[in-house]
Amino acid sequence: MRVAELSTPALVVDLATLDHNIDSMAAVRPGQSLRAHVKAHKSTALAAYAAGRSGSNSFCAATLREVDGLIRAGLGHDVLLANETLDIGALERSVNLARESNARLTIAIDSPETLGVARVAAGNGPLEVLIDVNVGMPRCGIAPGETGALAESARQAGLSVRGVMGYEGHVVGNTDRAFRVEQVAASMELLRAAHEAVGGGIASAGGTGTFDLHHWADEVQAGSFLLMDTSYSALDLPFRQSATVLATVISVNRSDGYAVGDAGLKAFGMDHGEPTIIGHTMFFTSDEHVTFVPGVGHNVSVGDRIHMVPSHIDPTMAMHERVHVIESRNTDGTVPLDAEVIDTWPVDLRNW
């Protein structure tokens, strides 16, 4: 099938750019020094492709569905639920699945309650945990000073403590590299102290925006670097946008100077703002439409395709059932309509 035959909206990834992103990450964070985060794309096929190329085959996940999907896809070499869960039933199922599959499952805990859930879900068997440490972002994570006691409680409850994780999510999106350098150092001071109190072999931290600023942490949790988006592209990172949403022009209003494409709010995460349209100017998006002003010199006609770039890739991926793969795109970022679709990867880890 060629790109021109795809029904729209269609999410397309360019393998040449994806490979560039995988290689750029592997040059700085090879092998197990990257813990590849699947929340950014929710596709086991994409996760397997990246692991096959980079050799980075330890993963992290934000949901138990992602955990289970990774294990079922044979990607359970070392899977971390980098998030807290209170869902004992679902965690028990994941723990059992991991045991049956000889997968290695580790989960984050940050409170006596999440420790208790882990203990119950572990049953009479072993389960590994990381202590999730608050390193400055107002989200999950126990205060650094309380980590030692939680680790001790976990060990007394029969859990294995592998170490600590701390996500500097308040830093990763800042466009000022000097600020990121300074803040990563400050966050890692907190994580280092926690690690000393907790023990264990692993300190896990970071994200796409700080992937090359971690000189102490053992592994960086990153996923958005694979596909990128317009927000992350505002940073000085070596990664390039590899995902495009193709839409079809379904209406043109020449007298008022706008046109309409068939991809809207249900095809794009909108929390970081509107998607962009290569060569044209965004007017506004509605549920299933984008209204735009054609770029100067572009004579847009009904039936033409437009090429849209998400502002935030993670929620955008969660809105699509599949991603179509092409060998390479044009230098301006558009997708060649006569390109062959060489593969189609299900986005199989969506929802909960």
Residues interacting with its own copies, by CB under 8 A? 7-9, 39, 62-63, 83-87, 89-90, 110-111, 113-114, 134, 138-141, 143, 169, 248-253, 255-256, 258, 260, 262, 265-266, 269-271, 283-289, 291, 301-303, 312, 314-315, 318-321, 350-352
| Cβ atoms of 21 and 10 closer than 8 Å | no
Q: Helix (H, G, I), strand (E, B), or coil: what is residue 168?
A: coil
With 0-12 / 13-18 / 19 or more C-beta atoms within 10 angstroms meaning exposed / middle / buried, residue 191 is buried
Tell me whether residue 74 or residue 286 sits nearer to its own copies (CB atom): 286
Cross-strand bridge partners of residue 322: 346
Closest approach of its own copies to the CB of residue 284, in Å: 8
Q: Which CB sits closer to its own copies, 105 or 249?
A: 249
Is the previous residue joined to 138 through a cis bond, with omega within 30 degrees of 0?
no
Q: CB of residue 54 vs its own copies: minimum separation in angstroms?
A: 23
Least distance in angstroms from the C-beta of 49 to its own copies:
22
Q: What are phi and psi of 100, to 5 degrees?
A: -60, -30
What is the rounded CA–CA span in Å between residue 166 and residue 58? Answer: 17
CB 264 to its own copies: min, Å: 8
Tell me the closest approach of the beta carbon of residue 166 to its own copies, in angstroms.
Answer: 13
Q: DSSP readout, 175-229?
A: S-HHHHHHHHHHHHHHHHHHHHHH-SSEEEE--GGGTTS-SS-SEEEE-GGGT--
| Positions of E strands within 18-159 | 34-37, 59-61, 79-81, 105-109, 128-132
Q: How far is the CB of 274 from its own copies (least distance, A)?
A: 9
Which lies closer to its own copies via its Cβ, residue 283 or residue 336? 283
Minimum CB separation of residue 216 from its own copies in Å reads 24
In this complex, which beta carbon is closest to its own copies, that of residue 32 or of residue 174? 174
Residue 319 CB partners (closer than 8 Å, separation 6+):
266, 267, 268, 269
Complex with its own copies: residue 17 or 285, whichever CB lies closer = 285
Least Å distance between CB 125 and its own copies?
22
Q: In the bound complex, what is the minimum distance in angstroms from residue 30's beta carbon to its own copies?
A: 26
CB-based contact 180:205 (threshold 8 Å) = no
Q: What angle do helix axes 44-54 and 15-28 make, rounded to 10 degrees?
A: 50
The two counts, helices (H) then strands (E), for the chain are 8, 17
**Closer to its own copies at the Cβ: 211 or 258?**
258
Per-residue tokens: 211: 């992937």
Of residues 9 and 206, the one with the C-beta less far from its own copies: 9
Sign of the CA dihedral running 172, 176, 181, 185:
negative
In the bound state with its own copies, the residue whose beta carbon lies nearer, of 216 and 284, is 284
Q: How many angstroms separate the CA atoms of 105 and 317, rounded?
A: 24
190 vs 328, beta carbon nearer its own copies = 190
33 bridge partner residues: none
